[in-house]
């Protein structure tokens, strides 16, 4: 028996295993709309055998985009493309999750393969991509060259909360099984949490309680808007890795408060408060973020998801078997091998090659191949 391939029930949803495909932005949308690229991307990952497949960070407002290629859920026009993905993923036996995001001052940026810096005149000339106004907890830019955002007013905060509630309604219309609030990687909600970027002196800043307030209010809003039988996750950067920044201990405190808001799982990433969310100078190593997931699970009494350089089936199995997390998410490993979960199951569960869990259009071919290889002694 494998702990990794045991089912997990969260509210009214039972996942067939503990493997999750982490949200990975594709930057391939036009006007926020999901297209063929997204259908194939998430379809091929669902075919690979994970219990839960995340659709990438999907922005709750047009101003909240990180790049012009971001998926969006600020318009009813964006629901059909997402529903097309949901229907296909669910037909493969996987559950499907949507991550709701807002880039804040990290918006108005180039796609990663164009440099990931602020949009410039060159981007406008080459691709018609012009910068747009941004908002943040303060009027401080995200980094050198980035435009100065507007410091959010009470009216801006109310509008943001309304945008998340509307997005939850559209996610429900699209049929998603799980909703995740993105509060990590230096984007808007993380910037409210971190003392490095939230220097407000009103009720939305100051001490830890003030800095956590917006995330907790939006979590409550989503829990009320999202059906009671559907799970709600929150992704956090569990440590800023910067002096005077957000810490692992702060994350446990936040997790306890999120539990009281009705959040079901905390998704433990880290870093990103300064610079790129994917190229930060973090103390990386295999499973480097697992201790944060373990602390949330054991100290806050809340289910957690581990992510970050989880490379082998044995490593993932140990994380679940040792009670360090309830779910294990893989990202880039699944891009290298979309069938990673199916191959991990075969390795961990042992025995002769068994393709009964593979999609039937693939499994019968592979079953015949296995018989041929065996007859040849290969």
Name the catalytic one among 27, 187, 241, 292: 187
Written as one string, the DSSP assignment of 304-360 is: EEEESS--SHHHHHHHHHTTS-SEEEESHHHHH-TTHHHHHHHHHH-SS---TTS-H
- In the numeric block, the tokens 């005077």 are attached to 244
Q: What pLDDT sits at residue 352?
A: 63
Q: Render pLDDT for 277-324 as a digit per residue (tens, 0 to 9).
A: 555 566 779 999 999 999 999 999 999 999 999 999 999 999 999 999
**Quick one: how far is CA 370 from the chain centroid?**
36
Pairwise CA distance, residues 172 & 186, whole Å: 27
Q: Render pLDDT for 176-202 as a digit per residue (tens, 0 to 9).
A: 999 999 999 999 999 999 999 999 999
Q: What pLDDT sits at residue 280?
A: 54
Closest residue by Cα to residue 363 from 336, 345, 377, 376: 345
Q: Taking residues 104-108, what's their average pLDDT?
A: 97
Residue 348 domain-assigned (yes or no)? no
Residue 365 domain-assigned (yes or no)? no
Q: Render pLDDT for 34-65 as a digit per residue (tens, 0 to 9).
A: 999 999 999 999 999 999 999 999 999 999 99
Residue 205 predicted with pLDDT over 60:
yes
Residue 154 main-chain phi, psi, to 5 deg: -60, -40
Q: Where are the alpha helices (DSSP H) in 175-312?
A: 188-193, 208-225, 248-260, 290-299
Q: What pLDDT sits at residue 350?
A: 78
- In the numeric block, the tokens 């009103």 are attached to 202
CATH of the domain at 123: 3.20.20.70
DSSP state of 118: B
Q: Render pLDDT for 71-103 as a digit per residue (tens, 0 to 9).
A: 999 999 999 999 999 999 999 999 999 999 999
27 is catalytic: no
Say which residue, 260 or 378, is predicted with more confidence. Answer: 260
Residue 369 domain-assigned (yes or no)? no
Q: What pLDDT sits at residue 284?
A: 78
Residue 275 predicted with pLDDT over 90:
no
Q: What pLDDT sits at residue 279?
A: 53
CA distances from 353 to 16, 44, 49, 311 (A): 20, 22, 16, 22
- Range of the structural domain that residue 332 is part of: 8-338
Q: What pLDDT sits at residue 378?
A: 87
Q: What pLDDT sits at residue 276?
A: 63
Residue 233 tokens, joined = 């996750």
Residue 67 domain-assigned (yes or no)? yes
Residue 374 domain-assigned (yes or no)? no
Residue 350 domain-assigned (yes or no)? no
Pairwise CA distance, residues 276 & 272, whole Å: 6
Q: What pLDDT sits at residue 325?
A: 98
Mean pLDDT, the chain, integer: 95
Q: CB under 8 Å, gap of 24 or more: what pairs does 33-42 form?
A: 33/71, 33/72, 33/77, 33/78, 33/81, 34/71, 34/78, 34/81, 34/82, 34/84, 34/85, 35/81, 38/71, 38/81, 38/85, 39/84, 39/85, 39/88, 42/85, 42/88, 42/89, 42/96
Q: Taking residues 133-155, what's their average pLDDT?
A: 96
Q: Render pLDDT for 16-39 as a digit per residue (tens, 0 to 9).
A: 999 999 999 999 999 999 999 999
> Are the beta carbons of 74 and 366 closer than 8 angstroms?
no
Q: Render pLDDT for 350-363 as a digit per residue (tens, 0 to 9).
A: 766 778 889 999 99
Residue 225 domain-assigned (yes or no)? yes
Q: What pLDDT sits at residue 351?
A: 63
Q: Render pLDDT for 247-267 as a digit per residue (tens, 0 to 9).
A: 999 999 999 999 999 999 999
Number of domains in the chain: 1
- In the numeric block, the tokens 């990794």 are attached to 4
Q: Where are the alpha helices (DSSP H) in the chain?
A: 36-47, 79-91, 121-127, 154-174, 188-193, 208-225, 248-260, 290-299, 313-321, 332-336, 340-349, 360-375
């Amino acid at each position: 028996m494998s702990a990794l391939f045991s089912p997990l029930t969260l509210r009214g949803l039972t996942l067939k295993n503990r493997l999750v495909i982490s949200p990975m932005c594709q930057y391939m949308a036009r006007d926020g709309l999901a297209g063929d690229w997204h259908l194939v991307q998430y379809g091929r990952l669902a075919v690979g055998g994970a219990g839960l497949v995340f659709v990438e960070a999907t922005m709750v407002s047009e101003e909240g985009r990180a790049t012009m290629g971001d998926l969006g859920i600020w318009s009813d026009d964006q629901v059909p493309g997402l529903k097309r993905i949901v229907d296909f993923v669910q037909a493969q036996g996987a559950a499907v999750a949507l991550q709701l995001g807002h880039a804040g001052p990290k918006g108005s940026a180039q796609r990663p393969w164009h440099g990931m810096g602020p949009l410039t005149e060159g981007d406008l000339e080459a691709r018609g991509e012009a910068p747009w106004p941004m908002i943040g907890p303060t009027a401080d830019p995200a980094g050198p060259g980035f435009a100065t955002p507007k410091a959010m007013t009470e009216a801006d905060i109310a509008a943001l909360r309304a945008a998340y509630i509307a997005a939850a309604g559209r996610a429900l219309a699209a049929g998603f099984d799980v909703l995740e609030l993105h509060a990590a990687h230096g984007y808007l909600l993380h910037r409210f949490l971190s003392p490095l970027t939230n220097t407000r002196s009103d009720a939305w800043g100051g001490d830890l309680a003030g800095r956590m307030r917006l995330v907790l209010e939006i979590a409550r809003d989503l829990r009320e808007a999202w059906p009671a039988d559907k799970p709600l996750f929150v992704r956090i950067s569990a440590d800023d890795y910067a002096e005077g920044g957000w810490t692992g201990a702060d994350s446990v405190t936040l997790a306890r408060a999120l539990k009281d808001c009705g959040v079901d799982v905390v998704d433990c990433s880290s870093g990103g408060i300064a610079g790129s969310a994917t190229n930060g100078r973090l103390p990386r190593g295999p499973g480097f973020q697992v201790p944060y997931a373990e602390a949330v699970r054991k100290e806050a009494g809340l289910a957690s998801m581990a992510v970050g350089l989880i490379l082998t089936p044995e490593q993932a199995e140990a994380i679940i078997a040792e009670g360090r997390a309830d779910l294990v998410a893989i990202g880039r490993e699944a891009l290298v091998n979309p069938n990673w979960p199916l191959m991990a199951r075969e390795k961990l569960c042992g025995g002769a090659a068994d393709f009964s869990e593979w999609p039937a259009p693939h499994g019968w071919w592979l079953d015949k191949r296995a018989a041929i290889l065996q007859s040849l002694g290969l």
